């Protein structure tokens, strides 16, 4: 058991079972032992890999997307370019480099990175040292000064803690983390059902709720509706609210139990895009998508970008570019194009953001 596992068992011993939300919060962001707090989890050597780490094309296309959105917003100056959970800072670095083709846009940028991990913030700092833009860090959105904004979040919402409720004969009971007879962490259910949940379902069905995600989407939607701008969320998840346990833990690219060695594995849940969209709309913002990442990247020009990179590369580099293009935009098994979705939240008066028009030639 990890050091954090010992802490959590002691906590439950004193206070009784804790919610899954609290467990996930501790496992991911406990100040000393949380998963993200002390390590760089990305890449072949790490626990998982993400789109910006697969290819520079991902961040570049998003940088050009942002420049177009800025022009549609009426070219505000300054523009807050906000990224949630920037990981190694790779996406932002690629985006800023690509945005050199739009110097007027670049000159307006006030880059704000929202990051909870000091270890990752230090890596982001190093990555962006030579980016030639003003970059600063915040713990959360309300620390970022007001003003028109473009926000980007890749694989951020899936890291936000969720609660789970299980349908039993008496109603929806919250899933809790407690201790078994041997003193090990185990899942259990609250004795009393949660009366406020009205969803009807079969016995045994699981309902996941991200209250933290809802609060963020409401605050962000209200901010964009008041101050102008667009937010882009890219993540894996489902487009309609449904029932199911999507909690998963990954360590060294393998699935492990979320209760074994908390703090040592990445724990995520699928994003309920429909639910997130409802919160943003309730705050007065418009919502576009979610659409497949593959479609989004194709409309943004990933095929042309890959071709341009390939034409200047040697044979083995060209093969790498092609493999990355397919992995990011293909829709087959093991490819990200259909698994990952893209959703935009925007000020209602703005035109449809680039990428969210129907694919040219696609069936209606
Ligand atoms: N966007 C990056 C990293 C995704 S991993 C990429 O695509 O490679 C999730 C990121 O969100 C990490 O940087 C993690 O430290 C950060 N994070 C997780 N929970 C957070 C929270 N509550 N507030 C701010 N950042 C958080």
Show the 3-state SS of the chain. Answer: CCHHHHHHHHHHHHHCCEEHHHHHHHHHHCCCCCCCCCCCCECCCCCECCHHHHCHHHHHHHHHHHHHHHHHCCCCCCEEEEEECCCCCHHHHHHHHHHHHCHHHHHCEEEEEECCCHHHHHHHHHHHCCCCCEEEEECCHHHCCCCCEEEEEECCHHHCCCEEEEEECCEEEEEEEEECCCCCEEEEECCCCCCCCCCCCCCCCEEEECHHHHHHHHHHHHHHHHHCEEEEEEEEEECCCCCCCCCEEEECCEEECCCCCCCCCEEECCEEHHHHHHHHHHCCCEEEEEEEHHHHHHHHCHHHHHHHHHHCCCHHHHHHHHHHHHHHHCCCCCCCCCCEEEEEEECCCCCCCCCCCCCCCCCC
C-alpha 361 to ligand 1 mean position (Å): 36
CA-wise closest residue to 268 among 153, 159, 169: 159
Question: What pLDDT, on a 0 to 100 scale, did the predictor assign at position 358?
Answer: 65
pLDDT over 70 at 359, yes or no: no
**Nearest protein CA to atom 10 of ligand 1, as residue:** 85
State the Rg of the chain over Cα.
21
pLDDT over 70 at 162, yes or no: yes
Instruction: Name the band, by pLDDT with cuts 50, 70 and 90, for residue 229.
Output: very high
Q: Sign of dihedral through CA atoms 32, 164, 335, 159?
A: negative
pTM: 0.96
Partners of 259 in the β-ladder: none
Ligand 1 atom at shortest distance from the alpha carbon of 36? 15
Question: Which residue of 85, 90, 119 sits with most ligand 1 atoms within 8 Å of its CB, as the best mutation to test the pocket?
Answer: 85
Question: What pLDDT, on a 0 to 100 scale, did the predictor assign at position 156?
Answer: 98
Ligand 1 near 117 CB (within 6 A): yes
Tokens of 253: 């690219």
Question: What pLDDT, on a 0 to 100 scale, did the predictor assign at position 216?
Answer: 98
93 contact partners, CB below 8 Å, separation of at least 6: 59, 127, 128, 131
Ligand 1 atom at shortest distance from the alpha carbon of 117? 15
**Nearest protein CA to atom 6 of ligand 1, as residue:** 87
**Quick one: average pLDDT of 107-121?**
97
**Cα–Cα–Cα angle for 107, 113, 117, rounded to 5 degrees:** 155
Assess contact for 93 and 127: CB atoms under 8 A: yes
**Quick one: average pLDDT of 53-72?**
98
Ligand 1 near 266 CB (within 6 A): no
Between 214 and 43, the higher pLDDT residue: 214
**Quick one: average pLDDT of 200-208?**
94
Ligand 1 near 52 CB (within 6 A): yes
pLDDT over 50 at 364, yes or no: no
C-alpha 363 to ligand 1 mean position (Å): 36
Ligand 1 near 24 CB (within 6 A): no
Ramachandran angles phi, psi of 46, nearest 5°:
-90, -155
pLDDT over 50 at 278, yes or no: yes
pLDDT over 80 at 177, yes or no: yes
Q: What percent of the chain is predicted at pLDDT more than 90?
A: 91
**Quick one: average pLDDT of 47-54?**
94
Question: What pLDDT, on a 0 to 100 scale, did the predictor assign at position 110?
Answer: 98
Assess contact for 207 and 201: CB atoms under 8 A: yes
Ligand 1 near 83 CB (within 6 A): no
Assess contact for 134 and 111: CB atoms under 8 A: yes
**Euclidean distance between CA atoms 353 and 233, whole angstroms:** 13
Digit-coded pLDDT (tens) for 130-159: 999 999 999 999 999 999 999 999 999 999
**Nearest protein CA to atom 20 of ligand 1, as residue:** 116
Ligand 1 near 115 CB (within 6 A): yes
Ligand 1 near 94 CB (within 6 A): no
Question: What pLDDT, on a 0 to 100 scale, did the predictor assign at position 360?
Answer: 52
pLDDT over 80 at 263, yes or no: yes
Ramachandran angles phi, psi of 230, nearest 5°:
-140, 145
Question: What pLDDT, on a 0 to 100 scale, did the predictor assign at position 363?
Answer: 44
C-alpha 327 to ligand 1 mean position (Å): 22
Instruction: Name the band, by pLDDT with cuts 50, 70 and 90, for residue 241.
Output: confident
Question: Which residue of 21, 25, 51, 87 sits with most ligand 1 atoms within 8 Å of its CB, as the best mutation to test the pocket?
Answer: 87
Instruction: Name the band, by pLDDT with cuts 50, 70 and 90, for residue 70.
Output: very high
Instruction: Name the band, by pLDDT with cuts 50, 70 and 90, for residue 357.
Output: confident
Ligand 1 near 36 CB (within 6 A): yes
Question: Which residue of 26, 113, 116, 137 sits with most ligand 1 atoms within 8 Å of its CB, as the best mutation to test the pocket?
Answer: 116
**Quick one: average pLDDT of 13-17?**
97
**Nearest protein CA to atom 2 of ligand 1, as residue:** 87
Ramachandran angles phi, psi of 40, nearest 5°:
-105, 100
Instruction: Name the band, by pLDDT with cuts 50, 70 and 90, for residue 44.
Output: confident
Question: What pLDDT, on a 0 to 100 scale, did the predictor assign at position 47?
Answer: 87
Q: Which of 13-17, 23-27, 194-198, 341-345 has the lowest mean pLDDT?
A: 194-198
Ligand 1 near 159 CB (within 6 A): yes
């Amino acid at each position: 058991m990890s050091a954090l596992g010992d802490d959590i068992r002691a906590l439950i011993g004193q206070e009784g079972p804790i919610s899954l939300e609290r467990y996930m919060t501790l496992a991911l962001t406990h100040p000393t032992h949380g998963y993200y707090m002390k390590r760089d989890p990305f890449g072949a050597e790490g626990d998982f890999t993400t789109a910006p780490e697969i290819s520079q094309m991902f961040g570049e296309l998003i940088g050009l997307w942002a420049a177009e959105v800025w022009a549609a917003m009426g070219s505000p100056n300054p523009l807050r370019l906000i990224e949630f959970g920037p990981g190694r800072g790779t996406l932002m670095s690629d985006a800023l480099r690509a945005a050199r083709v739009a110097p007027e846009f670049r000159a307006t940028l006030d880059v704000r990175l929202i990051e909870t991990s000091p270890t990752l913030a230090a890596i982001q700092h190093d990555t962006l040292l030579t980016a030639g833009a003003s970059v600063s860090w915040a713990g959360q959105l309300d620390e970022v000064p007001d003003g028109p904004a473009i926000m980007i979040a890749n694989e951020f919402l899936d890291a936000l803690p969720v609660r789970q409720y299980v349908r039993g004969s008496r109603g929806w009971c919250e899933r809790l983390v407690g201790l078994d007879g041997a003193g090990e962490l185990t899942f259990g259910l609250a004795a009393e059902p949660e009366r406020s949940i009205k969803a009807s379902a079969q016995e045994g069905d699981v309902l996941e709720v991200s209250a933290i995600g809802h609060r963020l989407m409401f605050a962000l939607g209200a901010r964009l509706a008041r101050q102008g701008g667009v937010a882009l969320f890219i993540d894996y998840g489902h487009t309609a609210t449904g029932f199911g346990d999507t909690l998963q833990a990954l360590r060294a690219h393998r699935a492990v139990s979320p209760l074994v060695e908390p703090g040592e594995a990445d724990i995520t849940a699928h994003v309920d895009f429909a639910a997130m969209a409802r919160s943003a709309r309730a705050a007065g913002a418009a919502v576009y998508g979610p659409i497949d990442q593959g479609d989004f990247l194709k409309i943004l020009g990933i095929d042309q970008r890959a071709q341009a990179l390939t034409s200047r590369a040697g044979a083995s580099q060209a093969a790498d570019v092609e493999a990355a293009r397919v992995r990011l935009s293909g829709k087959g098994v093991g490819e990200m194009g259909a698994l990952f979705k893209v959703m935009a939240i925007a000020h209602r008066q703005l035109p449809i953001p680039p990428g969210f028009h129907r694919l040219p030639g696609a069936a209606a």
